[in-house]
Amino acid sequence: MTTSTTEEQQHEEPPHKRKFTFPSALTVLAVVTIAVWALAFLIPAGQYDRNESGAPVQGTYHRVDSGQSFVDRLNDLFLSPVNGLYGIQDEKSGQVGPDLAGELYGSAGVFLFVLAIGAFITVVFATGALDRGIGRLAHRLRDRGALLIAGVMVVFSVLGTVEGFAEETLGFYGLIVPLMLALGYDRMVAVGTIILGAGIGVLCSTVNPFATGVASSAADISLGDGIVLRFVMWVVLTAVTVAYVIRYARRVRRNPERSLTGFLPGDREHASEAAGEVPELTGLHKAVIIATALVFAFMIFSVVPWASALTGDADATPYGFELGWSFPQLAALFLCAAVLVGLVARMGEQKLSATIIQGAADFISPALVIVLARGVTVIMNNSKITDTVLHSIEGIVKGTSSSVFAIIVFLVNLPLAFLIPSTSGHATLAMPILAPLADFAGVSRAVVVTAWQSASGWMNLWVPTTAVTIGGVALAKVGYDKYLRFVWPLLAILFLLICGFVAAGAAMT
């Protein structure tokens, strides 16, 4: 009898199936590494002739012998993460290895820079100054709904465009959701304010080290190249996104029945608690916020090629005050800035040291993603298939106008952004192939960087593989399907604007 009952229960309750979860960026890149290594046996080796600056010369592609045995290829696969970090490219053969003599090919500079800025950001957040500053802004504007939405979104957008502020937004739902409900809005307004506010800043990254910085390094250009175009994009697209969210918010406030999410039990009754007093900013908090702003302002000043930006001439002689800093100097800047902020906040030696170490540890994942992605390009370089892939893509874009070329770069990167949700990994993997294409098309490499980051940022506003989107709608208790319904008209508008900007940027170069 017992056996029969057990069998019936097993029949009625099928075993729970494990829900599919998209693999992490590290896993995706590990699979890509093996796949590229295997494809290198099938793709013929070839090379372009190079000019004095090392750029490929269009029309000079020719087949060559890779000169690699199976053991050599196996060794490249085994050492790909090592080569991705500190591989050295031999000047004569072009091969990359950890024990060769020549120029650094690996991403050691970017790797350390990511850890340094991770330490700095973690120290800033540990002071509580940024959280409380945003909280004070929201509290002061609580009686002016539209201004509150605009203020919070602009702050998030600024943080997104200068330092990739994204995952950090997950900590603000507990404040923004009840505050929006108290003002007569729904939960979708809070979601739009947070996700789209920070997301549009990342999409239009001006000096975001995790997007523009890594891509510029992989494209072998300065972080400041193309900053004028990206800044204009940031202003326009941020204004459009803010207006879109405010328009929906006003519609819901006038007619709550038009809300896409509706209202959960208790939304109206308990929302007034959000109007409570928020602690004032102390002198210490103000000092930390000012120090942080000055650090990012100095970073922008140090990397911008001011002569080129102000004259419009890419070959203009640099002004005497230009620093021309790159990743080694920026890594040192943020390490020093982390210590400076810690001293200003009076953390003490023990806590400051622990926070810096924790910050670097928290950012080891994106740093390793960059290393793995660079390791893939080493495999392609050593097997001499990079130019073959470049040649095949050259045939697709050959004969297109510069504007059409820029739009194609944007479109090509959309599916790549879905497969590789890590902006750093995506940039390191794609730029070595896309950047030389710009030379063939007579387009600035900075436009390719802008088109790439726009594709990555646009996809990350809605794809379910990003923790920012999925985590955000979960914290706000909003259905993902409802969020898609809310955001798709904006996505269409942004799509058209991005195509227009990258086309115009390409046409002007």
**pLDDT, position 201:** 93
Segment holding 384, helix H or strand E: none
Confidence of residue 492 (pLDDT cuts 50, 70, 90): very high
Q: Is the pLDDT of residue 91 over 50?
A: yes
Q: Which of 501, 500, 450, 498 lies closest to 225, judged by CA?
A: 450
Please name the residues in contact with 183: beta carbons below 8 A apart, sequence gap of 6 or more: 142, 145, 148, 253
Q: Which of 185, 193, 189 lies closest to 256, judged by CA?
A: 185
- Provide mean pLDDT across the span 496-507: 94
Partnered with residue 484 across adjacent β-strands are none
Highest mean pLDDT: which of 211-220, 246-255, 310-319?
246-255
The 10 Å Cβ neighbour count of residue 38 is: 11
- Provide mean pLDDT across the span 452-479: 84
pLDDT in tens, 352-382: 999 999 989 988 887 888 888 888 888 988 9
Cα angle vertex 293, ends 289, 299, to 5°? 150
Which tokens go with 79? 């050492």
356-360, Cβ contacts within 8 angstroms, sequence gap of 24 or more: 356/119, 356/122, 356/123, 357/119, 358/122, 359/118, 359/119, 359/120, 359/121, 359/122, 359/123, 360/115, 360/116, 360/118, 360/119
Q: How far apart are CA 353 and CA 154, in angstroms?
A: 32
- Provide mean pLDDT across the span 117-130: 87
C-alpha distance from residue 60 to each of 90, 160, 261 (Å) = 22, 41, 58
- Provide mean pLDDT across the span 408-423: 79
**pLDDT, position 5:** 47
Q: How far apart are CA 476 and CA 410, in angstroms?
A: 31
User: Quick one: residue 49, left, alpha or beta (phi over 0 = left, psi -120 to 50 = alpha)?
Assistant: beta
Of 262-271, 287-296, 384-393, the poorest mean pLDDT is in: 262-271
Which tokens go with 241? 């996104």
**pLDDT, position 3:** 47
Q: How far apart are CA 457 and CA 487, in angstroms?
A: 14
C-alpha distance from residue 491 to each of 70, 192, 252, 405, 482 (Å) = 47, 12, 20, 22, 14
Looking at per-residue confidence, does 494 or 399 come out higher? 494
Confidence of residue 75 (pLDDT cuts 50, 70, 90): very high
Confidence of residue 351 (pLDDT cuts 50, 70, 90): very high
Coil, strand, or helix at residue 318?
coil
**pLDDT, position 9:** 47
Partnered with residue 97 across adjacent β-strands are 88
- Provide mean pLDDT across the span 450-477: 85
Of 1-5, 168-172, 465-469, the poorest mean pLDDT is in: 1-5
Which tokens go with 366? 């994106």
Q: Is the pLDDT of residue 266 over 70?
A: no
- Provide mean pLDDT across the span 100-116: 87
**pLDDT, position 177:** 81
Cα angle vertex 82, ends 79, 87, to 5°? 100
pLDDT in tens, 428-462: 778 888 888 888 888 889 999 999 999 999 998 99
Q: Quick check: 295 and 273 in contact, CB under 8 A?
A: no
Coil, strand, or helix at residue 33?
helix
**pLDDT, position 355:** 94
Strand segments (E) across 190-319: none
**pLDDT, position 390:** 75
pLDDT in tens, 143-162: 788 888 998 899 899 988 98
**For the whole model, what pTM was predicted?**
0.70
**pLDDT, position 7:** 47
- Provide mean pLDDT across the span 314-330: 80
Q: Quick check: 109 and 217 in contact, CB under 8 A?
A: yes
Percentage helix, strand, coil for the chain under 3-state DSSP, each rounded to 5: 70, 5, 30
Highest mean pLDDT: which of 53-67, 313-327, 330-344, 399-413?
330-344
Q: Which amino acid is at 290?
A: I
pLDDT in tens, 1-48: 444 444 444 444 455 556 666 566 678 788 888 998 999 999 898 888
- Provide mean pLDDT across the span 170-186: 78
**pLDDT, position 477:** 85
Eight-class DSSP state of 96: E
* Mean of the per-residue pLDDT values of the chain: 83
Q: Which of 56, 20, 46, 81 lies closest to 368, judged by CA?
A: 81
Looking at per-residue confidence, does 208 or 157 come out higher? 157
Q: Which amino acid is at 453?
A: Q
**pLDDT, position 269:** 59
